[in-house]
Chains A and B, each alone.
Chain A
Amino acid sequence: MKKVTNPIRTAIVRKVVDENYRVKTIELECDLPKALPGQFLMVWVPGAGEKPMSIGNSNPLTISVANVGKVSGELHELKPGGMVSFRGPLGKPFNIPERAKCILVVGGGYGVVPMYFLAKVARENKIDTLAVVGAKTAKDIVWEKQLFTVCKEVFITTDDGTRGMKGNVLAEAQRLIEGKKIDSVYACGPERMMEAVARLCMQHNVPCEVSVERYMKCGVGVCGSCAIGGKLCCVDGPVFSAQEALSFPEFGKAHRDASGRRI
């Protein structure tokens, strides 16, 4: 019998953590050993819909969800013992160059979630990780404690100076790229931030990858909703090299909504 490549799986919720006023972390009674940092799940809530969510940890499988709509709203209602259904892991992961000794991860807002997973895997491979975390204000910082457990150093910036350095991640990232021997850089967060990090790395000739987000529907390269440049976020991404991301005319400039209209 022919097998289904991407079956829907259902796992039991082990733990729900309130990260802040809008983000909850959901840990499942399930490991996903095949999942790699940068990959995502299509999370299905029957009756509400299906949305892509980045993987924060594969063991135990963990996602972090901001309450922004119908699907995430339902996920926020979950208690231990509840059910989460998903397809995945999907998409292309981050790549760490061979013989890398030290990488830099830059996370904006809850973009730090997949960065924790990347730093954890780097640490398992005896690679040091430096992290720059950016947020609007102190209460928007998530997964800080987890990052400290897997990173060599963590630098925090907030737009209003309520935590860490006042300002955005770019100045800190630049200081580290110029001051330390960094083999590659990874960014996940608001697109303008990633665009700036990508340009910075291109200028300094440091390999860089960014995690791009687009309105996604099928998640498996068929429907075309998440098109960017001539590529699809779901199967060609969500991780793109800085060079490729910067070659997309829309990167940092325009998104599309559920109907495909440019916004």
Chain B
Amino acid sequence: MASLECAFFKKRIKNPIILASGVLGMTKGSLEAACENGCGGVIAKSLTLEPRKGHDGPNIVETECGLLNAMGYPNPGIESGLAEFGGWARDEALIISIVGKDAGEFGQLAARVEEAKKTLGASAIEAAISCPHTPGYGTMAGQGTPESIKEITRAIKDKCSLPLIIKLSPSIPGEGKAAKAAEDAGADAINMGNSLGPGMKIDLARRKPILGFGVGGLTGPAIKPIIVRAVHDIYRSVKIPIIGTGGITTGEDAIEMMMAGASWVSAGSAVYYRGPKAFGEIAKEMKAWMEGNGVKSLPEITGCCP
């Protein structure tokens, strides 16, 4: 019998499928529902120091090959956010995501997470330095360079004892070097993936960009080959485990991502294409593939593609 069960830092989780940050995770109720629908773990909405209402709409527009989004990090701020998500007692892993304008802000956020750690129930903290469409954050603030990555990683490790996942953009040059910088500075895992871009979609009748922010990040099936390649590069550059995020909507997509080097995968747009039960369906399909191919456990396939 093939098993999807795997380690996630100190926890054992039922499968390696994790809800991507920014999708559904605005409330604890939604995170719990994602778990009921089959996730092994969930990454909550990214939290900033102060509440943010995000960009004006439209925030999401469907294209022929994926979704373009420009949410602009709407979130209730670190205080309300930790109160919302805290007290997590489920078997699935909870990952708290933070976003800051610079290493100083990341440090402050990490310190707040550390203070709340006892009652929070989180298994890890994730720092997203990869958003392509929010001024002052992510790639729009130059956070994708090895120097910046090191500085941010150190600032968080200095303040928070939870395992740290650094979430990198697939739109930066040299993903392997970027991941190595995070590892050297003390990161415990890399999440390769965020939306790709920015991109734009123009409405023909209005002759204007549809997204309220004008441009946004591309997710969904279109970006999967790029993420698979980036995970493959990173697997060869670091020893710490990798989450592969981008375009996973089926069990075979997840298996492919793991062959490239991912220990876990995360999915977001899949809920658009397959509905909220996507996670459980992906898990079922992974298991079926493993059984059909004589694979008993996930470590057998992680990074098996040379």
Contacts and interface: CB of A to CB of B under 8 A. Distances in A.
Interface string A153-164: 000000000000
A223 B58 contact: no
A5 B205 contact: no
A51 interface: yes
Contact of B77 (A70, A221, A259): A259
What interface size band does chain B fall in?
A: 35 or more
A165 interface: no
B6 interface: no
Given A217-B74, A260-B27, A44 B57 contact: yes
A223 B51 contact: no
Interface string A189-223: 00000000000000000000000000001111111
Interface string B47-76: 000011110111111111101010100111
B94 interface: no
A42 B58 contact: yes
Contact of B57 (A7, A50, A220, A249): A50
Contact of B76 (A48, A231, A259): A259
Contacts of B76: 256, 259-262
Contacts of A8: 61, 203, 205, 210
A223 B205 CA distance: 26
B63 A4 contact: yes
A85 interface: yes
Contacts of A229: 29
B80 interface: yes
B9 interface: no
A50 B212 contact: yes
B275 A221 contact: yes
B206 interface: yes
B277 to A, nearest CB: 11
B58 A44 contact: yes
Contacts of A218: 59-60, 69
B271 interface: yes
B60 A217 contact: yes
A256 B62 CA distance: 25
B45 A224 contact: yes
B45 A217 contact: no
A67 interface: no
**A contacts with B: majority SS:** loop
Interface in A219-245: 219-225, 227-232, 235
A99 interface: no
Contacts, number: 137
**B contacts with A: majority SS:** loop
A259 B74 contact: yes
B75 A227 contact: no
A85 B206 CA distance: 8
A10 B51 contact: no
A85 B203 contact: yes
Contacts of A50: 56-59, 212
Contact of A223 (B26, B32, B33, B275): B26
B269 A222 contact: yes
B164 interface: no
A59 interface: no
A32 interface: no
B205 A231 contact: no
A218 B32 CA distance: 20
A260 B26 CA distance: 6
A230 B36 CA distance: 10
A232 B34 CA distance: 12
A44 to B, nearest CB: 6
B3 interface: no
B63 A227 contact: no
A52 to B, nearest CB: 10
Given A221-B271, A230-B36, A258 B210 contact: no
A186 B76 CA distance: 33
Interface stretch (B17-25, B133-141, B146-154, B226-234): B17-25
Nearest to B27: A227
A46 B30 contact: no
Contact of A230 (B32, B62, B77): B32
B24 A227 contact: yes
A7 B54 CA distance: 23
Nearest to A1: B64
A6 interface: yes
B276 interface: yes
B59 A223 contact: yes
A231 B29 CA distance: 8
B208 interface: yes
Interface of A: 1-8, 10, 42, 44, 46-51, 70, 83, 85, 217-225, 227-232, 235, 249, 256-262
Interface of B: 22-27, 29-30, 32-33, 36, 45, 51-54, 56-65, 67, 69, 71, 74-77, 80-81, 84, 203, 205-206, 208, 210, 212, 268-269, 271-272, 275-276
24 contacts: A1-B64, A3-B64, A5-B62, A7-B62, A8-B61, A46-B203, A49-B56, A83-B205, A217-B54, A217-B60, A217-B71, A217-B74, A218-B69, A220-B62, A220-B272, A222-B60, A223-B23, A223-B59, A224-B27, A225-B26, A227-B30, A230-B32, A249-B29, A262-B76
